[in-house]
Amino acid sequence: MAKLTRREMLKFGLLASGSGLLASSGVGCSLFSSSRIPSPTTTRFPEGWSLSIPEVLSPSSSLSPDPAPPIRLGYKMYEISQEERQHQFHPDLPPSTIWGYNGTFPGPTFHARVGEGSVVRFHNNLPQAKGFGVPRTVVHLHGGHQSSENDGFPTDYFLRGESKDMVYPNVPAGGDHRETPSTLWYHDHLIDFTAENVYRGLAGLYLVFDDKDCGDETNPRGLRLPSGPFDIPLVFTDKRFSPDDGSLTYDSFDHDGFLGDKVAVNGRIHPTLSVYRRKYRFRFLNASNARFYEFFLRLEKENRSLPTPFVQIASDGGLLPTPLSRSSFLLTNGERVEVILDFSRFSEGDEVILENRIRQWDGRGPNERIATGEPGTDLLKFRVMGNPPDGDPSQIKDRLRELAPLPTDLSSLPREDLIFDRKSGAWVINKKFFDPDTALITAPLGKGVIWRLYNNTSRWWHPIHIHLEFFRILTRNGKRPPDHEICRKDTLILAPRDEVEIFVQFRDYPGKYVLHCHNLEHEDMFMMARYDVTES
């Protein structure tokens, strides 16, 4: 039987009545698996189970047929096939069926350069879904600056057997080098079913380099940040597996936010990474549907958290103005943080554990930080080897990428309120469910606006993502934002009753876009709004 959309379920009054009514209404039972039944036990950091690094995608010499105009000369051409494959999350679990870009999870990584555009042809070679997932797909480059038709609007889907070209100019907003991004990611954005398709594996990384952040730690004209094999992405997703056969499961009727009880790093649960005694750059991405993480580093033999092991160098919107030393950092859904870890402070043979110290019981959001002395959730083990054979030419410079100045008279700018709330068992913005055909608000092209984002719930957390442009946080609950939020962002945390004012300027591309909660179940349950960038 065809799967009911969430819009149809709301229309028929099934949402508020719970999953029991849904199951009895004729929806296939294979869609449902209890989010409370624990996964099978798995061995902590099994021998030989190494961190997997997503491959870097190579461009194609051409595409056949040629991309439609107005593709300009000099654009690099890529092809990606969305496919069903078997994936091993842990040696103690049998392979699970996933959907992946080129059949892998995470998908292949793009290495893009500013000024060198990309044309990516996505082929939908997915089968008819068994269980969860819908083989209609939309591709959104999260954090990208591209035209509306290439942004991945939730209704711009293509079907099984079809292909779609996405055009990414890789030019910062307004041509301003200060707006250059760093770590972006691409993922499915299908209306009503983003959560299922992303959970099933449709996600990958898109990294952007320029003359400053050049990807070469030996280049004296660049920042000399750790590069090559010492620049490593870390994609965090929580999963749940059937206690019967160990297969990947998902509860399609958990509209509050689905939580797994196993955390995969780059698609593997409890992997190990061997590192030299030198600096590494790690790009953290929270690609989970609803789980928050607060990352700490612990020296295994002493069983204690390290005081300030992280040097943050970037956030969603690219490099920070200056490096920021941190003892831990909270990461919400869709958010990215880049840090430098210097393993020269450790001895050969040391084992260093990356752990999550946030307890979260359901989709409402984080509940509490785990107390000192209590065990956190171990995610990744670093095994320290000896000194690097070629030394460590990388550096952490005092200045990274400056921020563009804010307008001098913010009070004269247009203002909009965006209020996030709950209604009829679903989610609303300004009391409205997502309507792809109607803009909730508009913004003028080329002019700045101030938006006030307010979470009108007492228990729910909402990570809010705005497409097309990076924004600047002006105030958080009436006060200056913390240091780590004084930067370019595309995703922010709204804790219960939080009020955040942001400045955003829409440049280059008029058209329709969306903003939404990046708790993917909340997004699918209508906490999304269309906004239009207008030329008038």
Residue 22 pLDDT class (50, 70, 90 cuts):
very low
> Which pTM was predicted?
0.95
Q: Kindly state the percentage of the chain with pLDDT values over 70.
A: 93
**pLDDT tops 90 at residue 59:** yes
What average pLDDT does range 499-505 have in this prediction? 98
Predicted confidence (pLDDT) per residue in 361-391, tens digit: 999 999 999 987 788 999 999 999 999 999 9
- Other CB atoms closer than 10 Å to residue 115's CB: what's the count? 13
For the record, the structure tokens of 398 come out as: 């005092």
pLDDT over 90 percentage in the chain: 86
* 1 — pLDDT class (breaks 50, 70, 90): very low
- Residue 63 has a CB neighbour count (10 Å cut-off) of 16
At 289-343, the pLDDT tens digits run 999 999 999 999 887 788 889 999 999 999 999 999 999 999 999 999 999 999 9
Give the pLDDT confidence of 446-482 residue by residue, as tens digits: 989 999 999 999 999 999 999 999 999 999 999 999 9
Q: Please say whether the dihedral angle defined by the alpha carbons of residues 289, 291, 297 and 301, taken in this order, is positive or negative.
A: negative
- Does the pLDDT value for residue 36 go beyond 90? no
Does 20 score more than 50 pLDDT?
Answer: no
Whether residue 309 contacts residue 353, with contact meaning beta carbons closer than 8 Å, is answered with: no
For residue range 137-165, list pLDDT tens digits in order: 999 999 999 999 999 999 999 999 999 99
Q: What is the mean pLDDT of residues 167-190?
A: 97
Protein fold of 410-534: Immunoglobulin-like (2.60.40)
Alpha-carbon distance of 57 to 160, in angstroms, equals: 23
Asked whether the domain spanning 410-534 has the same topology as the one spanning 228-384, the reply is yes
Burial (Cβ within 10 Å: 0-12, 13-18, ≥19) of residue 79 = middle
All structural domains of the chain with their residue ranges: 1-25, 26-35+45-209, 228-384, 410-534
Provide the residue type at 387 as one letter.
N
pLDDT of residue 372: 79
Q: What secondary structure, in 3-state letters, does 311-368 show? A: EEEEECCEEEEEEEEECCEEECCCCEEEEEEEHHHCCCCCEEEEEECEECCCCCCCCE
Q: Which of 60-64, 229-233, 246-250 has the lowest mean pLDDT?
A: 60-64
**CATH class of this structure's domain 228-384:** mainly beta
Which of 81-85, 106-110, 251-255 has the weakest average pLDDT? 251-255
Give the sign of the dihedral formed by CA 398, CA 174, CA 414, CA 501: negative
- Report the topology of domain 26-35+45-209: Immunoglobulin-like (2.60.40)
Alpha-carbon distance 506 to 163, whole Å? Answer: 29
Position 428 pLDDT exceeds 70: yes
Please provide the average confidence, as pLDDT, over all residues in the chain: 92
